[in-house]
Amino acid sequence: MNTIADTAYRAKWFSTMLQESLKYTLVAEKICAVDRTENMFIWNPFGSVPTTVVQAIATVTYTPAAYTATVDTLTISDVFVVSEQIYDFERLLAIGDLLTSRRSEMEASVKRMIDKWVLNELCERGTGTYDTPVGGFAAANVGEIVASLVSKSAGFEIEGGWYLVIEQTDLPGVLLYESLSGFNYADTVLNNGFVRNIMGVDIYVVASGTFVDAAQTGTSGSKTWTNAGHRVAGIKGIATYAAPRGIVYNEKTITGYLGVEIEMHGFVGFNAWYAKRTMTIDITVK
């Protein structure tokens, strides 16, 4: 019986680049202030809160009170590093542009890890708290959750607007809530899909496993988190992360073999500023 090898067939190359993985949506820069100046520290002083007393005009007296000023500090504390080695024969003889492809994947990896790190720092450092109703982000609970979060800032002057970060496993309940909420709103969702704003709160969806427990590991660096089963909400722009020079790329020739070592790194620090930490809400999903 005659047979034919697979390699004898005609073939078409789909791309001159290696196929790349899907990139995660990045959220941190949308909800935090970002500082890219080349500084090790960012200082943000704040004063104690004064107390006003009301008295009858005829008996007014006052005693000047002492006040205190405290310096809140953001410190560049962690570096994010990824590196790979590419041999010359791989780079020169591969059908795809191996160097460019790997560089793109590495950059996406660093950005994703920084995003995850900042979101966990937000969740860990915020002092506001909220427990969802039992069932978490089930459709029946979403309206109550969002309304409760908004109520935590009621009465304050808010400029940046509210955000809520959930994981993709929370999305079915949110979508069902949206599709059942009033004719115009529901029609918009049913025709166009996920609406990213509910009651004035911008909703961001990140990959499952973004919020984690970690103690000074390759995920959390110098930080310790207890965020598994948690989500985060708050006011945009009141926390800051610093990323001096952004992501730095280096390509090095290695002695002893033909090829290059490619490396990317980024320095990052974070602070939820003390005077407004209560406006960053650590959400426990029940």
The two tokens of residue 264 are: 């990317």
pLDDT in tens, the chain (286 residues): 456 666 666 766 666 667 777 777 899 999 999 999 888 999 988 889 899 999 999 888 888 999 899 999 999 999 999 998 888 777 776 666 777 788 888 899 999 999 999 999 999 999 999 999 999 999 999 999 999 999 988 877 777 889 999 999 999 999 999 888 876 777 777 777 677 888 889 999 999 999 999 998 889 999 999 999 999 999 999 999 999 878 888 888 877 878 888 899 999 999 999 989 999 999 999 9
* Residue-number span of the structural domain to which 150 is assigned: 24-46+69-284
Residues 79 and 217: their CA atoms lie apart, in Å, by: 12
Number of domains in the chain: 1
- State the DSSP string of 77-134: EEEEEEEEEEEHHHHHH-SS-HHHHHHHHHHHHHHHHHHHHHHHHHHHH--EEEEPPT
Residues 148 and 146: their CA atoms lie apart, in Å, by: 5
In a domain, 3, yes or no: no
In a domain, 164, yes or no: yes
Pairing of strands 201-206, 162-167: parallel
In a domain, 58, yes or no: no
In a domain, 55, yes or no: no
Place of tokens 């800032």: 153
φ, ψ of residue 242 in degrees (nearest 5): -105, 135
Task: Please answer whether residues 31 and 234 qualify as being in contact, where contact means their C-beta atoms are separated by less than 8 angstroms.
Answer: yes
In a domain, 162, yes or no: yes
Question: What residues are paired with 70 via a beta bridge?
Answer: 46
In a domain, 253, yes or no: yes
Place of tokens 């996920």: 194
pLDDT at 38: 87
Q: Of all helices (H) and strands (E), which one includes residue 38?
A: none
211 CB-near residues (< 8 Å, 6+ apart): 119, 120, 123, 167, 227, 228, 229, 230, 231, 232
In a domain, 201, yes or no: yes
In a domain, 54, yes or no: no
